[in-house]
Chain A
Amino acid sequence: MKVKLKVKRTDPGTGETSYSRYQIDTVESTTLLDALIQVREYEDGTLALRCSCRSAICGSCAMRVDGRARLACRAKVIAITRGNQEHEITVEPMGNMPVIKDLVTDMELFWSKIRQVKPYLQPEGPEPEGEYRVPNEAMLDLTHTMNCIMCGACVSDCTVLEVDKNFIAPAALAKAYRFVGDPRDAHQVERLRQYSEYGGIWDCTRCNMCVEVCPKGVAPMNRILQLREMAIEAGITNNAGSRHTKIFTKSIEDGGRLNEVWMLPGSVGMFNVPRLVKEAPGALKMLRAGKLPLSQMIPPGAPGSHKISGMDRVKNVIRKSAALKPKKAEVVSDGA
């Protein structure tokens, strides 16, 4: 089976980019990595790519395939083209990172983010004589994050990192969850406080891109959402993100549907005058276009606020849903 490849090239000397086109023979089991190695060995020895295990374990061969980050060793060409020989597979280096040459990116940004979250256990108190013992169920939830092979696919396609390099980004925040969720770690609140700062958990836009591209099921965004829940529970709520969650939830508890008018002051702070002034022209434009509903002018919870009918039934469901929360696993005290 013939396969067409269009590979983005970057000249390390000049930084100039171009595309090289190749057509090679493959078989049904050929992965994209096999195909690229075949190109390098037999067609064009100047093509640079990074790879090692060829088994989706080492995390070396992440690259963009038809616009989406994935491991080249885990993608069969026939699955990419859906058997269409006219489909030209576009192969590019990962995004959000500088390119060293062709498909090889500089991962320093990735590692700097990982270091930023202190990716190691910080236990306190005397060390046990034997091992630390934790119940299985406490670790089960962390197995997703332990599957991370540091390939960088999620960082490559993170839509927030595209506009703000300060964002800690998905891989490191998933790693952060692994330590906050570990019952042996003694710095959970301190960690949650650090991760709640600018660039941290609240700066994720929840676009699911990292969940989609992660080849190992880590689902970094879901870990970020768990961190948000834990941060709120730990009382770290003096930030726009958790205030937004709070006013949003209150709006539903009060009226069943979102009161959009109060989301902004509820999130940025009622007395955050500079920010509210900044929003005023936009609010006026929306008002003029008939996009600020008068029914929502009364804040959620205040007398006369907007409600759907049958709120008593909604409140019953909300009240009873509290019993659905899973019980938390606790550290078993060391036997020593």
Chain B
Amino acid sequence: MALKYAFWPGCVSKGAAPELYVSTNRVAQALGIELVELDTATCTGAGVIQEQNPEMGDALNARTFAMAQQLGLPLMNICSTCQGIESMVQDKLAKHPDYLAKVNDILADEGLHYTPDLEIKNFLWVLVEDFGLDRLKSMVTRPLTGLKLGPFYGCYILRPSEILGMDEHPDRNKYLEMVIEAVGAEPVDYEGKKKCCGFPLLTINRDNSLKQAGNHIHEAQDLGADALVSPCPLCHLNLDAQQPAAKQVTHYNIDLPILHLPQMIGLAIGIEPKDMRLDHHVVSTKKLLSKLPAPAATASR
């Protein structure tokens, strides 16, 4: 069955993590997932706008939801933070019909209307629930056998669990490990995998932020991880781009590549690393890539 989504790329994939945008599109194409980008949608607010003005955040997110509904498509994001905020707004609007009606009055100016039954899924959930891990396994041409990969979820795709569909999908807090196994690698079990990367504190309390990032990287590296993999580009920024600074603050001898989730999938289905901009990370991925087997001959995707 062909999969098709309204695609919210998030601010970071269009800004400081362009490799995520490129790799998502490349991998989606290879998997046969059609993405219709919502290029006039706005930032979810990431919980920051909500600190000062939750109502503005609600209206802007409802607008994005309504755009997806206008296309008649479920909404896919590629950011744990986007997922969390979108789920939170969705929950609030569903619980307060009077409030939703006022929000819809605003959206009516552009001919938009939101009905609270939209399916909103991070790429990780799409992979497991819609695409299917068996189908993914069947497409693996370069199994990542021998690699130890540490999952790093990002807070908002896990918590608060009651608004993230965990009742219906209780394994959503295990999906990263399941996907890592599906591509042939071994998941590293470490405490930090479900904790905070520290990114929201980076400009506010630099030391605390970098200690959080550095501690998790160190813990995973100590347990033999070859890399971390995350569905959240904000985590990626703190774990990859800030890793040299985290090294200075924590004095840990850390040097661990951080993969975006689509990059890991792409490597396993035979996409060339440079086509997913794996050479555009702050922490070099060369050592990791040198451990990969050559893709099978049929892997010209």
Residues of A that sit less than 8 Å from B by CB: 67, 159-160, 162-164, 167, 198, 202-203, 205-209, 211-212, 219, 225, 228-229, 232, 240-241, 244-246, 248-249, 251-252, 256-260, 263-264, 267-268, 275, 278, 281-282, 285-286, 289-293, 296, 308-310, 313-314, 316-318, 320-325
Partner of A267, one of B11, B43, B56, B203: B203
Assess the B159–A244 pair: CB atoms within 8 A.
no
Distance of A205 Cα from B203 Cα, bound (Å)? 11
Q: With A257-B14, A308-B39, A321-B58 in contact, do A206 and B47 touch (Cβ < 8 Å)?
A: yes
Q: With A268-B203, A285-B244 in contact, do A205 and B15 touch (Cβ < 8 Å)?
A: no
Assess the A163–B208 pair: CB atoms within 8 A.
yes
How far apart are A225's CB and chain B's nearest CB, in angstroms? 5
In the assembled complex, which residues on chain A have CB atoms less than 8 Å from the CB atom of B203? 240, 244, 263-264, 267-268
Partner of A291, one of B18, B41, B205, B245: B18
Distance of A285 Cα from B241 Cα, bound (Å)? 8
Distance of A156 Cα from B147 Cα, bound (Å)? 33
Distance of A241 Cα from B202 Cα, bound (Å)? 10
In the assembled complex, which residues on chain B have CB atoms less than 8 Å from the CB atom of A318? 56, 59-60
Q: With A245-B51, A260-B12 in contact, do A282 and B244 touch (Cβ < 8 Å)?
A: yes
Distance of A252 Cα from B56 Cα, bound (Å)? 10
B46 at interface (Cβ–Cβ under 8 A)?
yes
How far apart are B97's CB and chain A's nearest CB, in angstroms? 14
Q: With A205-B201, A206-B47 in contact, do A282 and B242 touch (Cβ < 8 Å)?
A: yes
Interface size band for B: 35 or more
Q: Which residue of B lies closest to A291 (CB)?
A: B16
Assess the A209–B159 pair: CB atoms within 8 A.
yes
Partner of B109, one of A164, A251, A310, A316: A316
Assess the B60–A317 pair: CB atoms within 8 A.
yes
Q: Which residue of B lies closest to A326 (CB)?
A: B55
Q: With A203-B205, A291-B16 in contact, do A159 and B196 touch (Cβ < 8 Å)?
A: yes
B102 at interface (Cβ–Cβ under 8 A)?
yes
Chain B, interface SS category: helix
Distance of A227 Cα from B245 Cα, bound (Å)? 31
Distance of A286 Cα from B160 Cα, bound (Å)? 32
Assess the B51–A232 pair: CB atoms within 8 A.
yes
Assess the B50–A225 pair: CB atoms within 8 A.
yes
Residues of B that sit less than 8 Å from A by CB: 11-12, 14-18, 39-43, 45-56, 58-60, 63, 84, 99, 102-103, 106-107, 109-110, 155-156, 158-161, 191, 195-196, 198, 200-209, 211-212, 215, 241-242, 244-245, 277, 280-282
Distance of A259 Cα from B51 Cα, bound (Å)? 18
Assess the A202–B204 pair: CB atoms within 8 A.
yes
Assess the B280–A258 pair: CB atoms within 8 A.
no
Assess the B204–A267 pair: CB atoms within 8 A.
yes
Assess the A241–B204 pair: CB atoms within 8 A.
yes
Distance of A288 Cα from B60 Cα, bound (Å)? 34
Assess the B191–A211 pair: CB atoms within 8 A.
no
Q: Which residue of B lies closest to A203 (CB)?
A: B205
Q: Which residue of B lies closest to A199 (CB)?
A: B205
How far apart are A260's CB and chain B's nearest CB, in angstroms? 5
Distance of A211 Cα from B84 Cα, bound (Å)? 13
Assess the A282–B55 pair: CB atoms within 8 A.
no
Assess the A245–B48 pair: CB atoms within 8 A.
yes
Assess the A292–B204 pair: CB atoms within 8 A.
no
How far apart are A266's CB and chain B's nearest CB, in angstroms? 8
Assess the B106–A314 pair: CB atoms within 8 A.
no
Partner of A257, one of B15, B48, B54, B102: B15
In the assembled complex, which residues on chain A have CB atoms less than 8 Å from the CB atom of B60? 252, 314, 317-318, 321
Distance of A263 Cα from B238 Cα, bound (Å)? 14
Q: Which residue of B lies closest to A320 (CB)?
A: B106
Distance of A162 Cα from B209 Cα, bound (Å)? 11
Q: Which residue of A lies closest to B215 (CB)?
A: A163
Closest 7 CB pairs of A and B: A208-B159, A267-B203, A207-B196, A258-B11, A324-B55, A321-B59, A163-B211
Q: Which residue of B lies closest to A285 (CB)?
A: B282
Assess the A260–B11 pair: CB atoms within 8 A.
yes
How far apart are A263's CB and chain B's nearest CB, in angstroms? 6
Assess the B160–A324 pair: CB atoms within 8 A.
no
Distance of A248 Cα from B204 Cα, bound (Å)? 13
In the assembled complex, which residues on chain B have CB atoms less than 8 Å from the CB atom of A322? 55-56
In the assembled complex, which residues on chain B have CB atoms less than 8 Å from the CB atom of A292? 16
Assess the A252–B45 pair: CB atoms within 8 A.
yes
